[in-house]
Structure 1
Amino acid sequence: MQCYKNGQLIDSIPLLDRAFHYGDGCFTTARIFHGNFELKELHFARLKLACNSLSLDADLSFIEKSFVHLQQQHPNLNGTLKVVISRGEGDRGYSLPLHAADVYVWYYPRVTQAFQPEWIESGMLNHALGLNMPHLVGLKTLNRLEQVLLKQEADQQGWLEALVSDVQGSIVEGVSSNCFIRINDRWITPELRYNGVHGVMRAKILSRMQQYQVECEQRCIDMSEIGRIQSLFFCNALHPMKAVIRFHDRCLEQQPYLDLFETLKLSQID
């Protein structure tokens, strides 16, 4: 693992960094495949939106500078890139410091393969998401305590990923993914009105669906519709399709995954 701060390689983080004290910032996680920063434009657009919403004065060119350093060190770059925008150092208390934000880039090397559907078992978690402050809906902020508790429950069930609802009884997403659900032979993805993350892979898939004329409805999906789920897959920046073959004790249809994966050309993500 390597970490850069504002384009410079570092081995420590300041004790007064507000990302540590308050979760004051935002982040994104990207896949690097054969030196290619996948979904780069979508990642940058999401970071810019989050920085504007959180009043973070961040120079995102430091991401590119750090990435160039990594490419120079690793001719065949493969792995995961995590970008964290922190408010930076500050005194105790919630008042905002006046300086620019800090841009951290972590690189986790790992073997990456060309995308194929990943087959998993899943279910519905008991823990539910709360309703976000409207200003924060869709943003990937550093406050991930809900996801930590949800992942604990999923791990206890032996599920790699699982469906999550909110306190109003609506299906929202997975623990660390967005989701697409097939009901009555139609694809649906939850409308992220009160919570959830506007994922870059979700955006890419919705764009491809429009491009290849695959109907997909964005709407509220009530918990009462769980029994009608025909197919379900999760997606995030690291994988476009984690296809659920067994949901609790019920087998789901598999052919729709294969058809959609081929139609949307999900083996090719740029």
Structure 2
Amino acid sequence: MQCFKNAEKIYAVGIFDRAFQYGDGCFTTARLYQNHFELKARHYSRLKHAATHLFLDVDLELIEQSLLQLKNEYVELNGTLKIIISRGEGQRGYSLPDHQADVYVYYYPSEVKCFEPQLIRSGVLDSLMGLTMPELVGIKSLNRIEQVILKKEADEKGWIEALVCDVHGQVVEGVSSNCFIRINDQWITPELRYNGVHGVMRAEILQRMMQAGIDCQQRPIHQDEIPQFQSIFFSNALSPMKVATHLHDTILETQICVELFQTLHLSQMHEYVKA
């Protein structure tokens, strides 16, 4: 793993950094595949949107400068890229410091293969997600304690990914993914009005479905509808389709998900062109 802060290689983070002190900032996690920064425009758009709503003054060109150094060091970039925007160091207290945000770029090299659907068993977690401050809905802030608690339960139940409901009984997303659900032969993804993350892969899949003429509703899904679920898949930037074969003990339809994966060319994230 390598880390850059404002395009300079570092090996430690300052103890007064507000990302550490308060979770004050935002982040995005992307895949690098054969030197391609997949869904780059969507990741940058996410960071710009979050920076605006979090009042962060950030220079995203520092990401490019960090990537250039990595490209000069590696023959080919493959792995995971995590970009953290921190408000930077400051004194004790919540008042905002008056300086530019810091940009951290983490590179985790690993063997990366072409995307393909992954079949998993899943379920609905007992733990519930809370509601988010309206201005922060959809933003991937550094405060991920809910996901840490949710992941603990999912791990204990042996689920790689699981559905999460909120305190109002609405299905929101997976622990670390968005979800797409088929009910009465209709694809639906939760609208994420009160909580959840507006994932870059979710946005990409919705656009490709629209281009392919496949209708996908964005609406609330109440937990009372769970017995009607025909198919479920989870998506994030590192895995476009984890297909649930079972929801608890209920067998789900998987072939339609695999066919959708092929129709949307989800194995291609940097060269997809609608035929």
TM range (shorter): over 0.9
Measure, in 2, the Cα distance between the counterparts of 1:69 and 1:246: 44
Shift of 1:137: 0.2
Measure, in 1, the Cα distance between the counterparts of 2:180 and 2:238: 16
Measure, in 2, the Cα distance between the counterparts of 1:112 and 1:168: 39
Q: Report the AA paired with residue 48 of structure 1.
A: K
- Kindly indicate whether residue 7 of structure 2 is the aligned counterpart of residue 7 of structure 1: yes
Shift of 1:224: 0.4
**Residue number in structure 1 paired with 2:126:** 126
Measure, in 1, the Cα distance between the counterparts of 2:217 and 2:95: 42
Measure, in 2, the Cα distance between the counterparts of 1:219 and 1:254: 22
Measure, in 2, the Cα distance between the counterparts of 1:13 and 1:220: 40
Q: Report the AA paired with residue 74 of structure 2.
A: H
Q: Report the AA paired with residue 171 of structure 1.
A: V
Measure, in 2, the Cα distance between the counterparts of 1:255 and 1:242: 13
Q: Deviations over 1:97-143 (max 9, x none)?
A: 00100000000011110011000000000111110000000000000
Measure, in 2, the Cα distance between the counterparts of 1:225 and 1:68: 49
**Residue number in structure 1 paired with 2:259:** 259
**Corresponding residue SS for 2:89:** coil
Q: Deviations over 1:191-243 (max 9, x none)?
A: 01000000000000000001100110000000001011000000000010000
Shift of 1:255: 1.3
Shift of 1:172: 0.3
**Residue number in structure 2 paired with 1:192:** 192
Shift of 1:264: 0.6
Measure, in 1, the Cα distance between the counterparts of 2:37 and 2:134: 31
Q: Report the AA paired with residue 178 of structure 1.
A: N
Matches within 5 A, 1:1-270: 1-270=1-270
**Corresponding residue SS for 1:126:** strand
Structure 1 residue runs without a partner (length 5+)? none
Measure, in 2, the Cα distance between the counterparts of 1:15 and 1:4: 16
Shift of 1:246: 1.1
Shift of 1:75: 1.2
**Corresponding residue SS for 1:132:** coil
Measure, in 2, the Cα distance between the counterparts of 1:99 and 1:235: 36
Shift of 1:72: 1.1
What TM-score does the superposition give when structure 2 sets the normalisation length?
Answer: 0.98
Q: Report the AA paired with residue 119 of structure 1.
A: L
What TM-score does the superposition give when structure 1 sets the normalisation length?
Answer: 0.99
The percent identity for this pair of structures is 60
- Over 3 Å off, 4+ runs: none
Shift of 1:76: 1.3
Q: Deviations over 1:123-180 (max 9, x none)?
A: 0001111100000000000000000000000000000000001000000000000000
Q: Deviations over 1:26-75 (max 9, x none)?
A: 00000000110000000000000000000000101001111111111111
Q: Report the AA paired with residue 48 of structure 2.
A: K
RMSD: 0.5
